[in-house]
Structure 1
């Protein structure tokens, strides 16, 4: 089951742009500013990463962002509480929380889904939760009208079919095996992989992991319904980090990030 806000967005937007940012990088307040700037730049859905000390699916760029956010004191609770603040400031697009199993278990899955829904979150993505072990979280999400976003990688056709058959919201297709991180080339097998997913999926498909150039975005837009950009954007946020924290320079830094995004997704 999808949240109404997410379902409406998926119905309306046929070229989904889904940016990823890390909660608390460079600060909590700037995370809210970034969310609004990304919405203005054309984001369809925001993926909000919860900083974690052992992020298995993340490459060095997002690991470094997590480290910065954790050193600022960002926690799972604090990250969730950013969402209603974003909503109060005018964020209308769906928000997907990207987190790992361990913090969820420590927090309590039921409590997490209840609070996430109450705070205006629309879905959850847990990269290290195997499909075979997702039943309980899936049930909690269903109870709260949250989408549990499934990840599907280039594995066997049978496994792709299984995951796709239960996908909610949209299906997150991993462009290549390994961790996240900007890459110069897309995996040459991606077209065949996405064709297999497309045949099996009842929901829109979005592609992430390593998408970092306008050419790659355009290639993906020709093959899928959406594109997720993480490391390339987090890298820009890191470059603008000091300016984003400086009230006198913040607006200009946000403008630079918007320009970067618009250049990535413009026709």
Structure 2
């Protein structure tokens, strides 16, 4: 079991939904990113999701695209992202870390080298532009390095395809709440309860809900319904506008709201 297994098991025992907080590595610079990310676990984040900066993040909306550009302009690379995680681990040994990003930078780094360098530091990886049909050649290497392969589904993913994706998914499932890009408005939250029930027929791992979750009311309504609530753009925007301390306070508030109820 790695840190992610341990955290998910603890949340299950406590009958609580977990809070996943996304930030782009190196945004707006390495030092600020390290100061923020190394305090997220103590501020209430159950899982830290770190975006690997890329020049063409097609699944992301304006807020996170801008974060990628700021990070790249500040000199953030994939090598520096792994170093960032290494520095976080000096202060936070326990909070699971999932890297999220696109295949191109990993291939340029060297896929097997990336996994070897990430082993022991990173607990999961989500590659946005690696669909089911092309995953198989990478899975064995990922599993050998004790890293979970996090898969994505969306509202338009057909039942038959869900069954295929479930064969490869480990750790937790990341379900995109709305078809579109990160940061868009969450319009059909009521439908999510039914969708989560449908997903659980196919997946025997926790289900996380992301994209479009911006405020405490939305978090409260997902508490006890989704196994994990994933928040990105709202936090990235707070960091950009108000800095590290204000962002940590926002994480604390989301965590407090999410953990008010023990179960449904």
TM-score, normalised via structure 2 length: 0.91
**Counterparts of 1:166-245 in structure 2 under 5 Å?**
166-183=168-185, 185-241=187-243
Q: Provide the secondary structure at the position in 2 that maps to 1:129.
A: coil
Pairwise CA distance, 1:184: 5.2
- Relative to 1, partners in 2 of residues 1:162 and 1:221: Cα closer, same or farther, differing over 3 Å? farther
Write out per-residue CA displacement over residues 34-69 of structure 1, whole angstroms, 9 at most, x where no aligned residue: 113221221111001011110011000000000000
Write out per-residue CA displacement over residues 2-22 of structure 1, whole angstroms, 9 at most, x where no aligned residue: x52111111002321000001
- Relative to 1, partners in 2 of residues 1:133 and 1:27: Cα closer, same or farther, differing over 3 Å? same
Aligned counterpart, 2:151: 150
Residues 165 and 200 of structure 1 are in contact (CA less than 8 Å); yes or no, is this contact kept in structure 2?
Answer: no
Pairwise CA distance, 1:157: 1.1
- Single out whichever of 227-236 and 30-39 deviates more from structure 2: 30-39
Pairwise CA distance, 1:182: 4.5
Pairwise CA distance, 1:91: 4.2
Write out per-residue CA displacement over residues 140-173 of structure 1, whole angstroms, 9 at most, x where no aligned residue: 1111010010111122111112212332001111
Q: Which runs of 5+ in 2 are unaligned?
A: none
Pairwise CA distance, 1:187: 4.9
Pairwise CA distance, 1:26: 1.5
For residues 239 and 150 of structure 2, the distance between their equivalents in structure 1, rounded to whole angstroms, comes to 25
For residue 45 of structure 1, the aligned residue among 44, 47, 67 is 47
For residues 115 and 65 of structure 1, the distance between their equivalents in structure 2, rounded to whole angstroms, comes to 24
For residues 135 and 220 of structure 2, the distance between their equivalents in structure 1, rounded to whole angstroms, comes to 33
Pairwise CA distance, 1:261: 1.8
Q: Provide the secondary structure at the position in 2 that maps to 1:17.
A: strand
- Single out whichever of 158-167 and 37-46 deviates more from structure 2: 158-167
For residues 38 and 82 of structure 2, the distance between their equivalents in structure 1, rounded to whole angstroms, comes to 16
Q: Which runs of 5+ in 1 are unaligned?
A: 242-252
Residues 22 and 48 of structure 2 are in contact (CA less than 8 Å); yes or no, is this contact kept in structure 1?
Answer: yes
Residues 47 and 98 of structure 1 are in contact (CA less than 8 Å); yes or no, is this contact kept in structure 2?
Answer: yes
Aligned counterpart, 1:136: 137
For residues 47 and 213 of structure 1, the distance between their equivalents in structure 2, rounded to whole angstroms, comes to 18
Aligned counterpart, 2:7: 9
For residues 203 and 240 of structure 2, the distance between their equivalents in structure 1, rounded to whole angstroms, comes to 36
Pairwise CA distance, 1:137: 1.9
Give aligned pairs, total: 252
Residues 170 and 203 of structure 1 are in contact (CA less than 8 Å); yes or no, is this contact kept in structure 2?
Answer: yes
Write out per-residue CA displacement over residues 192-223 of structure 1, whole angstroms, 9 at most, x where no aligned residue: 32211011111111111111111111222232
Q: Provide the secondary structure at the position in 2 that maps to 1:263.
A: helix
For residues 234 and 23 of structure 2, the distance between their equivalents in structure 1, rounded to whole angstroms, comes to 10
Q: Provide the secondary structure at the position in 2 that maps to 1:200.
A: coil
- Relative to 1, partners in 2 of residues 1:235 and 1:186: Cα closer, same or farther, differing over 3 Å? farther
Pairwise CA distance, 1:85: 0.6
Aligned counterpart, 1:24: 26
Aligned counterpart, 1:117: 119
Aligned counterpart, 1:261: 251
Pairwise CA distance, 1:258: 2.0
Runs (4+) of structure 1 exceeding 4 A deviation are none
For residues 62 and 205 of structure 1, the distance between their equivalents in structure 2, rounded to whole angstroms, comes to 23
RMSD over aligned CA atoms reads 1.5
Residues 182 and 232 of structure 1 are in contact (CA less than 8 Å); yes or no, is this contact kept in structure 2?
Answer: no
Pairwise CA distance, 1:90: 2.8
Q: Provide the secondary structure at the position in 2 that maps to 1:189.
A: helix
